[in-house]
Structure 1
Amino acid sequence: MADDEIATKAPESDAQESGPAESVFPHDSKAQDGPSMGEHCVTDRPTPSGEVPTGELTKLADVDVYIAKPSDYPHSPSKLLLLLTGGTGVNSTNNQLQADKFASEGYLVIMPDQFAGNPAPNMVDLSSADNQELSWLETGKLKLAETAKAFRIDMWLAYHTPEKVLPVLHKVIEAAKEEFADAIANGGGIYGIGYCFGARYIVILSGEHPDTVAWGQEAPKDEEQGVVKKEPVLKAGAIAHPTMVTKEELDAVKVPTYIAAVKDDPMFSEDEVLTPGRRELEKNKVEHEVRVFDGVPHGFAVLGDYDDPKIKQEQAQAYGAMLGWIQSH
């Protein structure tokens, strides 16, 4: 593991317009201006050859979920893992295969449809076209389509807010507590893994919040009078290249947390979110680890095939690190 990939490991331990200040953590990257979601959040990579999902799409508390179980469950003990996806959602073959991989390690994986049947619209990938053989008119049309879809993604994000997503997640979690009580008891709680969009909600579920915030409502205005806070839902969490996470959400985290970040990721601001959030994690003596992956795109940790062997290698390392984190907690 290269030195420049490790940001911090502490046992107790979005972008802005002006130039970012130096990080107080050695070898960390600087965030740049950019969109709130990008191509790798909303478009699947090619599925690894020959792989087919083995879990099942079903319903839990009237919410569509993909459930992947260890092959010997319930005859052997398992642990419950909540897996939250990026914008491609529960019907993505790659996301289902990702859930299956965790299931093969002894986790009963519940992957809910956070989007109520409305996953993010796909981006247009101009790099996949041979622009040398496209006329200027065809190229112009592609760029217009790309702009239109980017606008649709912004509208999609404006709709899928914590006020809509968190109640869905809490419904699934409460139902899982009844149906899979054995797995929760065996693990001593619920573990969480999140990618891109879903990473934000793993952060929220790992935090201590007023009841209103925990359920996606506005924070009370009179907190100084003594608002009762809700304990974290998760026992431990691991996230990769999160989007739209706020500093306050990181500040509230109270459980062991692993973060796989991407160097110069415009969707996860170092100056406004990561650095101050980590200061709070250290101040609050929350066990955490942050690794900054260099030379890979946002979304690299989501299962999918890449031509670049470096990205493939880093994807495997991110999976191994996230799995190792929850296994050790």
Structure 2
Amino acid sequence: MADNGVATKAPESDAQEENKTAAEQISGIPGDSQPDQGAASMGRNAETKQEVTKYGDIDVYITKPADYPHQPSKLLLLLTGGTGIQSTNNKLQADKFASEGFLVVMPDQFAGDPAPTTTTTAQAEQSAGILEQVKLGVASVAKSFTIDMWLARHTPEKVLPILQKVITSVKEEFADAVANGGGIYAVGYCFGARYVLLLGSELDKEAASGLRSPDAAAEEGMVRQGAQIKAGAIAHGTQIGKEDLEGVSVPLCIVAVKDDSLFPDHIRDEGKKALEAKKLEHEMKVYPGVPHGFAVYGDYDDEKIKQSQEEAFKQMLDWLKSH
């Protein structure tokens, strides 16, 4: 597993501090941990084996139990928040699952274009001569690169084809792990949470391949194909609508934050009613007094957040292991 000592701070733990060091700069996405800029190199120990490889033109971080393939593993697809696979915190999170026996595949959903950090946007602002900034939750980004612009480049039509290519590749390369688990498991944080829901839904083939949006395909009543995953777990999702939860057809675990503007209570409550109406196996726990993004590994000073972080990990881990 990566050395916990080099973890960056999750943004909520130092959002109000001034004069942060480079290692404490935060992502432009509210709730995301920052990319690994200037942090120490990832550590290694006997618990996991890590590598970064490519499936076609897609970068993928893979972390395996140390005794794999001598001991069977289940395959887990981990979908990150906007900071992507170069974030130290995201790698640590993947390693935690690998140390529990999962073969973890964490793809670059953003094709080399992760969310900007405050450091990179400050540099862009200086070079462009633009001083005006907009406030987005706990993060400030230059007006020349708003979060809306970034999100507009990373829609289901762009992200789902990336995930489909990775799924096709892992089914071939790690057929033993897929077979051992009876399918692919998935966990998603922040941005990645919605894509766990989409992969766990019966999308039509054109939507699944990115040829049209899932919403448009649903409205047109096209023939749907089965879910791409066996079971899923999500934490503090963003951009999730009621219809995303209504479409899920696989067992689902939800970690949520009380009074989270990025995953509003009414969306969560309506989604839960839909899951109950379908009699779909699910588990939901709402954590009070913690910030959005708390479930991703981060160096928080608040003991309550640390404890909730461990509880959320255990909740998701137990769910995946039991399915």
Whether the TM-score (by the shorter chain) exceeds 0.5 is yes
Asked if 1:242 is matched to 2:237, the reply is yes
1:179 and 1:82 map into 2 onto residues whose CA distance is: 14
The structure with the larger Rg is: 1
Kindly provide the amino acid, as one letter, of the partner of residue 65 in structure 2: P
Q: Which residue is equivalent to 2:149?
A: 155
Q: Which residue is equivalent to 1:118?
A: 113
1:158 CA displacement: 1.0
Residue pair 1:70, 1:106 contacting (<8 A) in 2 also: yes
Kindly provide the amino acid, as one letter, of the partner of residue 43 in structure 1: Q
**What percent of counterpart residues are identical?**
57
1:42 CA displacement: 5.5
For residues 148-297 of structure 1, the aligned pairs below 5 Å read 148=142, 151-216=145-210, 217-218=212-213, 219-220=216-217, 223=220, 227-271=222-266, 273-297=267-291
Q: Which residue is equivalent to 1:93?
A: 88
1:148 CA displacement: 1.7
Local SS of the residue matching 1:268: coil
Correspondent of 1:65 among 60, 79, 88: 60
Kindly provide the amino acid, as one letter, of the partner of residue 297 in structure 1: P
Asked if 1:39 is matched to 2:33, the reply is no
Kindly provide the amino acid, as one letter, of the partner of residue 86 in structure 1: G
Q: Are the structure 2 counterparts of residues 49 and 61 from structure 1 closer, same or farther at C-alpha, using a change threshold of 3 Å? A: closer
Residue pair 1:199, 1:243 contacting (<8 A) in 2 also: yes
1:123 and 1:199 map into 2 onto residues whose CA distance is: 23
Q: Are the structure 2 counterparts of residues 72 and 222 from structure 1 closer, same or farther at C-alpha, using a change threshold of 3 Å? A: closer
Asked if 1:83 is matched to 2:78, the reply is yes
Residue pair 1:39, 1:123 contacting (<8 A) in 2 also: no
Kindly provide the amino acid, as one letter, of the partner of residue 253 in structure 2: Y
Residue pair 2:42, 2:88 contacting (<8 A) in 1 also: no
Q: Give the 4+ runs in structure 1 shifted more than 6 A.
A: 45-51
Deviations, residues 230-255 of structure 1 (Å, cap 9, x unaligned) = 11111000000000012111111011
1:150 CA displacement: 9.1
1:222 CA displacement: 7.0
Segments of structure 1 that go 5 or more residues without pairing to the other structure are: 1-36, 125-140
Q: What count of residue pairs does the alignment treat as equivalent?
A: 275
1:97 and 1:253 map into 2 onto residues whose CA distance is: 28
Asked if 1:301 is matched to 2:292, the reply is no
Residue pair 2:33, 2:293 contacting (<8 A) in 1 also: no
Kindly provide the amino acid, as one letter, of the partner of residue 310 in structure 2: A
Q: Are the structure 2 counterparts of residues 65 and 51 from structure 1 closer, same or farther at C-alpha, using a change threshold of 3 Å? A: closer
Kindly provide the amino acid, as one letter, of the partner of residue 164 in structure 2: H
1:209 CA displacement: 1.8
Kindly provide the amino acid, as one letter, of the partner of residue 88 in structure 2: T
For residues 130-149 of structure 1, the aligned pairs below 5 Å read 146-148=140-142
Residue pair 1:256, 1:286 contacting (<8 A) in 2 also: yes
1:282 and 1:204 map into 2 onto residues whose CA distance is: 18
Name the structure, 1 or 2, with higher relative contact order (CA <8 Å, separation 6+): 1
2:82 and 2:43 map into 1 onto residues whose CA distance is: 21
Segments of structure 2 that go 5 or more residues without pairing to the other structure are: 1-27, 120-130
Residue pair 1:42, 1:121 contacting (<8 A) in 2 also: no
- Higher mean alpha-carbon deviation, 317-326 vs 152-161, is at 152-161
- Higher mean alpha-carbon deviation, 233-242 vs 273-282, is at 273-282
